[in-house]
Chain A
Amino acid sequence: MPKIKMPRSSPSLDMTPMVDLAFLLVTFFMLTAQFRPEDAAAVDTPSSKSADEIPLQGLLTVTVDSTGRIFWDLTEKPVRLAVLESMGARYNLTFTEDEKMRFASLGAVGMPMNKLKDFLALDNSAARNALVKENRGIPVDSVNNELEWWIYETNTLYFRDIKEKVKVALKADGNTPYTRVNEVVKTFQGPNIKINRFKMITDLEEGRL
């Protein structure tokens, strides 16, 4: 019987396309992934069945963390700076270029106006977070409702610069007492702002119904 001759081909195969593919995928994932902006406060939003997506642009977010601190955030950088300037004018503060740059690059800001300059003078995030912890965020008391002016200026300046109405979203921690959230809602509805429709940011709840 003749011996069956196995074809003597090399057992190693060309891995190049596979490497190409793998690195292509790695590159794709790395480039398309967006870093989640550093949150000033950890907020655990409640979940809801609503699947409406969050708008990526023209969004004014008011964040309330579980201890009731209130933060302001806006997506558009040029408008952020304009808001900072007119808030400064309102409270007799002038900001240096450095402070403005820092303000533009930060995410949510939650400082009373009299502490804002100290806050913007700090250049490392750990020190900033420590300062945030010491304060109660943007005041909303009826005597000194700074949040009202933050929103008012944002509304006005956004409309002036972009010619569109800014969308307002409320992002609150699920464990926040509702009374605190209600103060923000009351501010929205106040005589200067008059926002009765807004979005509440929630986590998408899956596997229900």
Chain B
Amino acid sequence: MADVQTGDGGGGGGRHQKKRAKKSSTHIDMTPMVDLAFLLLTFFILTTTMYKPSTLQMTYPVPKEKPDEVDKPVENAITMFLTKKDAIFYYRGGFEPGITQLERTDFNQLTKVLAANNKDAITKVQELDKQYVQGKVKEAQYDSLWHDIVADDEALFCIIKTDKDARYRNVIDIVDEMGIHAIDKFSVQDSIKPDERALLDIAKQQL
């Protein structure tokens, strides 16, 4: 190399060596860099999980001033008991001691039960949806019409009572089913009357 000079004290004239920058290409091979960049990109996309919780609006009944207030018997009511092992027991209408029997269902068959009991409202809502899609019903009217259907006096009224073995998941699931089956009138309670309790205890034995 030109820059190494050893033991040469003399002038070394005549052969003047110019230092010249090496002329190498300015192009760098970018391929590994692209590889790396896309590797990182893929890694981040694959490892991130979308955290997207949603919320379910709940309205609880305002606590009664007098806890002994008698509920008026409602013909179009369905009372459901959530209990252990995700089982549901239910009866229709008002409670009549000696006559009322609990029927058993679970979360897979609940759809059928609710659909059968709330046929009118569901059909009306489906019709409303159809008209909405066809453009016969304006968006502004939709909410009030929908509300008229579900808040109708004839529409199903659902009382959900939770036994001590019920899990939170059961409550959310059943409230969700209310939304699916156009049941706007429902309430979640934890007070099970002694008569109902007796029936429920017998029914629970078959679990």
Using a CB–CB distance below 8 Å, which chain A residues touch chain B?
A: 12, 14-16, 18-19, 22-23, 25-26, 29-30, 33, 36, 45-54, 64, 169-182, 185, 188-189, 196-205, 209
User: Of the candidates B52, B55, B172, B180, which one forms a contact with A174 in the assembled complex, judged by CB atoms under 8 Å apart?
Assistant: B172
User: Of the candidates A45, A64, A174, A179, which one forms a contact with B53 in the assembled complex, judged by CB atoms under 8 Å apart?
Assistant: A45
A177/B60 contact (C-beta < 8 A), A12-B29, A29-B44 known: no
Number of residue pairs A-B, CB distance < 8 angstroms: 142
Residue of B nearest to A21 (CB): B37
B63 contacts the other chain (CB 8 A) = yes
B173 contacts the other chain (CB 8 A) = yes
- List the B side residues contacting A15 at CB < 8 Å: 29-31, 33-34
- List the A side residues contacting B175 at CB < 8 Å: 48
Query: Contact flags (1/0) for B166-189 with A, using CB distance below 8 Å?
Result: 111111110110011000000000
- List the B side residues contacting A202 at CB < 8 Å: 53-56, 172
List residues 32-55 of chain B with CB under 8 A from any CB of chain A.
33-34, 37-38, 40-41, 44-45, 48, 51-55
- List the B side residues contacting A197 at CB < 8 Å: 57-60
Q: Is the interface of B mostly helix, strand, loop or mixed?
A: mixed
- The smallest beta-carbon distance between A19 and chain B, in angstroms, is 5
Q: List 20 A-B contacts (CB under 8 A).
A: A15-B33, A15-B34, A22-B37, A47-B172, A50-B55, A169-B55, A172-B168, A173-B168, A174-B168, A175-B168, A175-B169, A176-B167, A177-B165, A177-B166, A178-B170, A196-B62, A198-B58, A199-B55, A201-B53, A201-B55
Structural contact, A51 and B54, CB atoms closer than 8 A? yes
- The smallest beta-carbon distance between A148 and chain B, in angstroms, is 14
- The smallest beta-carbon distance between B127 and chain A, in angstroms, is 17
Structural contact, B180 and A209, CB atoms closer than 8 A? yes
B15 contacts the other chain (CB 8 A) = no
Q: Is the interface of A mostly helix, strand, loop or mixed?
A: mixed
Structural contact, B30 and A19, CB atoms closer than 8 A? yes
Count of chain B residues near A, Cβ 8 A = 43
Roughly how many angstroms separate A50 CA and B29 CA in the complex, as a whole number? Answer: 52
- The smallest beta-carbon distance between B37 and chain A, in angstroms, is 3
- List the A side residues contacting B171 at CB < 8 Å: 178, 181
Structural contact, B168 and A177, CB atoms closer than 8 A? yes
Structural contact, A26 and B37, CB atoms closer than 8 A? yes
